[in-house]
Amino acid sequence: MAQQQLSDPFECLSPTTLAMQGSGGGALSGLSFVAKDLFAVEGHTPSFGHPAWRATHAASPTTAPAIRDLLDAGADLIGLTKLDQLAYSLIGDVGEGSPPLNPTDSSLYCGGSSSGSAAAVAGDMADFALGTDTAGSVRVPAAVCGVLGIRPTHGSIPSDGILPLAPSFDVAGLFAKTVVTLGRALAVVAPGLDGPRPPVSIRIAADTFAMVDRESALLGRQVAEQLASLTGTTLEDVAFESLTDGETGDLFARLQGREIWDHHSEWVEANGHALADDVRLRLERCKQLSRDPHAVRLADLAGRREFSDRLSEAVPSGAVVVLPILPRRGPERVWTARELVEFRTECFRLTAPASLAGAPQAIWSVEGEARRSVGIGLLTAPGDDTLLLDVMALLSEESAEVGD
């Protein structure tokens, strides 16, 4: 292990970043990666997005299996990346030091909480990156920074050595610029996923595109039609409004909030004064939710099971549903605190379905107006992760042909 002297033009590396060489041979030989600074590396104290966390915790005694597996497969860890405080944001504006710069659009934050990982890939500093996703912390930055991203099936990547936010929702995820690289890295960290399968159906959640800006809606329809054509299937419309409504977002927020307080209440009570105002306010809400009666907690857990059943009807195994991730272009650096909160809340409704059901969701980035990237969500059933890679490979091949 060595301190990293890597150039950091996008200010995305953690202040105590480090580097580790891979094995020198294997499936990922010749590739480089970065990891969000909440993955354990032996002898290093992760920041969890705030110097107060580092100051109050000891160095990790071991290295997280996800990082160890990537190193064993030949990839080089070239740095550890910034994240939002406690990984509890979708914006990318509150972390250790200055917020990472968005390589694709300087007027935007990178999205959070895996802001530094997305920026490093978007800026060609690394071939791929490790992040984590609880409520969209891989999917939102991937969409904002114009790269590919995947939140795998919950539990498919070992959680050992990864600082938790809300464990029943947390999952390690990946960023890359190419489908090939994304697939190679995922195969190393999640070798137990099912093999490729042909899609049974391509579906579009057209009612959710009514919630977003016009450009995203047009591009989402275009992606869905391309996939239907490429797979030789008929594009089906699926109702998703009741799966992305305000109650869905509220249910997720309640469940997530209680888990956060269960895991971090002691540290927050002692150190919360050092956190950013918006993070501290959300944690106060978590504290209030922790006081809910047992019957209320049980009702929300039952609501999650019922939601998962409804989602499985809309997204059966073998189906890919196209839907938006971002409500509009953003998050802009000039937005007020209120505007950022509104953006986060709107994202919540679109990212909650995969989080509640533990389902895999990928981000396919396409070029929109003024050469700006727009991230489109691809959702499938738990365990169908390789199906997402298959359909993105088809889209990638078509993009290459168009470019030729």
- Active-site residue list: 36, 113, 137
Q: Could you give the angle at which helices 246-271 and 294-314 cross, rounded to 10 degrees?
A: 130
Q: How many CB atoms lie within 10 A of CB 298?
A: 10
Q: CB of 142 within 8 A of CB of 113?
A: no
Rg from Cα positions in the chain: 20
How far is the C-alpha of 163 from the C-alpha of 165, rounded, in Å?
A: 7
Give CA–CA dist 98/279, Å, rounded: 16
Q: In the numeric block, which tokens belong to residue 359?
A: 């389902």
Token pair recorded at residue 253: 């927020």
Give backbone dihedrals phi and psi of 366, rounded to 5 degrees, phi first. -125, 155
Q: 70, 81 in Cβ contact below 8 A? A: no
DSSP result, 36-85: ETTB--TT----TTSHHHHHTSPPPSS--HHHHHHHHTTPEEEEEE--BG
> Would you list the DSSP string of 228-259?
HHHHT--EEE---GGGSSHHHHHHHHHHHHHH
- Cα(286)–Cα(291) distance, integer angstroms: 9
Which helix or strand (DSSP H or E) is residue 353 part of?
helix 337-357
